Amino acid sequence: MGALCMHPIAYYARSWAGAMTPTDDVVAHLMMMRGDEPMYWRRSTQHPAHRPEAGL
């Protein structure tokens, strides 16, 4: 199990929140996944679930 880290628009330092509202962020991720899922996985940073960077 792991977590993908992808911020389509912006990133606030030391935060797991991007610059978009949560619903817009979900829609952006969904569109990227449906458009080209292999590219989405390549561009996302993959964090193991036990690391603090995962935000779990």
Could you read off the pLDDT of 1-56 as tens digits, one per residue?
A: 778 888 776 666 676 666 777 787 888 889 999 999 999 988 888 888 888 888 87
**Taking Cα atoms as reference points, which of 50, 43, 55, 53 lies closest to residue 1?**
50
Could you read off the pLDDT of 31-45 as tens digits, one per residue?
A: 999 999 999 988 888
Pairing of strands 45-48, 2-5: antiparallel
Contact criterion met (CB below 8 Å) for 8 and 28? yes
Helix (H/G/I), strand (E/B), else coil: 10: coil
Predicted pLDDT at 10: 60
Predicted pLDDT at 11: 61
Q: Tell me the whole-structure pTM to 2 decimals.
A: 0.61
How many structural domains compose the chain? 1
Distance CA 34, CA 13 (A): 28
The residue segments making up the domain with residue 29 are: 2-54
